[in-house]
Amino acid sequence: MLKTMRKNVKSLKPVLWLIVATFIVAIFAIWGGAGRLGETNRSDTLASVGGTKISSDAFFQALRSRLESISKQFGGEINAQLIQQLGIPQQTLEQLVQQQLLLEIGRDMGLRATNAEVRDKIVAYPALQQDGKFVGFDSYRRILDYNHIPLADFEAGLRQDVLIGKVVEVLTAGIFVTDDEIWQSYRKQNDTAKIEYLVAETAKTEVTETPSEAELRAHFDGNAASYKIAERRTADYVVLRTVDLKKEVAVKDDEIDKYYKDNTAQFQEPEKVQVSRIWLPFTATDKDTVRTQAKGLRNRAAGGEDFAGLARASSKDDKAAAGGDWGLYDWRSLSAAETEAVAKLDKGGVSEVVETEAGAAILKVTEKTLAVTKPLAEVKATIKGLLEEEKARALVAERIQRLESLARKEKSLDVAAQKEGLKPASTGALKKGDLLGDFDTSGAVSEALFGLKEKDISAPIFTYAGEALAELKGIEPERPAKFEEVRDQVAKDILDQFKRNKAQARLREVRASLKDNWSAEGPKLKLEYKFVEGHKKEQYLSLVGDRAEIDGLLFSLPLKQASEPLAVDEGYAIFRVLERKEATREEFEKVKATERDTLLGEKKNKFLQSYMAMAREGKKVKINAEAYQRLSEDVMSRYTKTS
């Protein structure tokens, strides 16, 4: 069902995604309630919104279920580092907070969801549809029972969804977009420029100049305000590593058996479906012709003709050269209509012609492997490692809490550590965000120090390797730098400027002599050549970045005329526009209504984000950072490779 939900959510218009996302998390929280990871007490409050509390368990289950869903979707290929980089724990907590904020606002407004509105929501729910119709209330209850979802909880979630929808409707009722705003937005998406450019990268520019001591001092004196020594903090700290405590824990076979039974979904090999596609784009003028062509190709493919050969000959997307192969995962990014067509096909099956707003598609399932659950024997070692990790983390938490209590009682981490048979170490002077050896590769300890006053003892500090406790010993405030302290940085800054000047001069020199074939001339001149078939405003350009002044140039520069050298992210570049396609009023009028909906949704979202930021202040949202970090680590520990 979650797969079906994701598929239907992708087909929604891009309106009010903030609200959609919060509701999805609510459903995840309900659906994830059947299983547990570890025995940590999670009944405490993680966050409070006004007078309402969000429990640690609600966050734990929401995060755990969301990660399981992502893992299934991507074939299990996620790990703790990726989860952290994507910010999934932070997103999950933020979505729970925003959902509760909207519910609080709704209650303040006196809004409520009626039983009839909840019933309509159930009947229209995408995952409860079959052949475009509601499956019926008996089947609806059976589906919930099969998935271990309490009826009351599911309908409570839908009731909240209805109320949130009403809140959003009231808050955004006065927001509108003008015709000119729609036209400018449409132009931004549809005006394109075929461009090429040459980049002289400063990183690859060699300079022989060496700044003299007088030049270094002159540069420093002229820019002294920009050279500062950042605030540094020093602390004593004690570390308890999870790996060290693993030797003190034992995992029994019955614990492994129970974990396997409670978390069977975790050990599923997801269904693998490989898809190929023939894609024929159309416009309003040639739609009928393309439809006819697509039907002919579909009949030939269904009749047994080589699909890959047909795709190479006729398909018009970037997979055509590979025989239309969209692999095991890329096809999931196709339109909802196309992914729905794939879901109905068996291995070797060819779809009917699938029509979207932009064109016609024929799809074939080339490989299909059903989902299977790995046997216990195959995953026993993995489960043992996970449980050892959990037990060791629990032991770390217990001992660090005991050390914290004793340190606060003694008002000294050093005294408390000696009583516990531990020896504190010094962090040395750390800037905010500095790493602390292999124990803290994310800078969590230094970040914590900047929230303390001198002689304060921190709360437990969590890292992937374990937990630490720190006592702040000294603060070195930010101050102006002395020349001797930043001499190397001054030299680097001057050399960087030399390189930029040389890169700019190099492009000025070659600009006048460039012929028509930049792609061949660029490498000979040791310049990086780039070509973009259809650049749009506000799109990122490799080595250039996202620069409004570059867009202004590209949509005004005379065709096939080389620009002056312009500063870009990686050095200097010259540009040439080969073709430009501008949006027409005629085509705009055909899609104006859709564009209005899209732009209005974006505008409403921006307003809501601003409104929610103010609401957070008014409702006094509070987060228990210690509990949040502990729970995040608890969930993500199962995605950390064990030896």
Rounded to the nearest 10 degrees, what angle do helices 336-343 and 2-10 cross at?
150
Whether 80 has a pLDDT exceeding 60, the answer reads yes
Q: Which domains does the chain have, with CATH numbers?
A: 2-175+602-639 (1.10.4030.10), 192-227+485-581 (3.10.50), 232-264+376-477 (no CATH), 271-370 (3.10.50.40)
Q: What is the mean pLDDT of residues 524-541?
A: 93
Kindly indicate the confidence band of residue 7, based on its pLDDT and cuts at 50, 70 and 90. very low
pLDDT computed for residue 15 by the predictor: 31
Q: What is the pLDDT of residues 277-336, one digit of tens each?
A: 999 999 888 899 999 999 999 999 999 999 999 999 999 988 999 999 998 888 887 888
Q: Is the dihedral of CA 610, 616, 619, 620 positive or negative?
A: negative
Interval 186-216: pLDDT, tens: 999 999 999 999 999 999 999 988 999 999 9
CA dihedral over 326, 329, 334, 335, signed as positive or negative: positive
- pLDDT band at 509, cuts 50/70/90? very high
pLDDT of 311: 94
Asked whether 365 and 348 are in contact (CB, 8 A), the reply is yes
pLDDT value of residue 583: 93
pLDDT at 75: 60
191: alpha, beta or left, given left = phi > 0 and alpha = psi -120 to 50?
beta
Which residue type is seen at 244? D
Alpha-helix runs per DSSP H in 110-238: 115-124, 137-146, 151-171, 179-190, 213-222
Judged against a pLDDT cut of 50, whether residue 26 lies above it is answered with no
Residue 217 has pLDDT above 80, yes or no: yes
Q: How confident is the model at residue 450, as a pLDDT?
A: 94
pLDDT for 546-586, tens place per residue? 888 999 999 999 999 999 999 999 999 999 999 999 999 99
Residue 511: CB atoms within 10 A of its CB come to 14
pLDDT of residue 641: 54
How much of the chain exceeds pLDDT 90, in percent? 60
pLDDT of residue 576: 97
Residue 74 has what pLDDT?
64
Higher-confidence position of 3 and 600: 600
User: In the prediction, which pLDDT does 233 show?
Assistant: 97
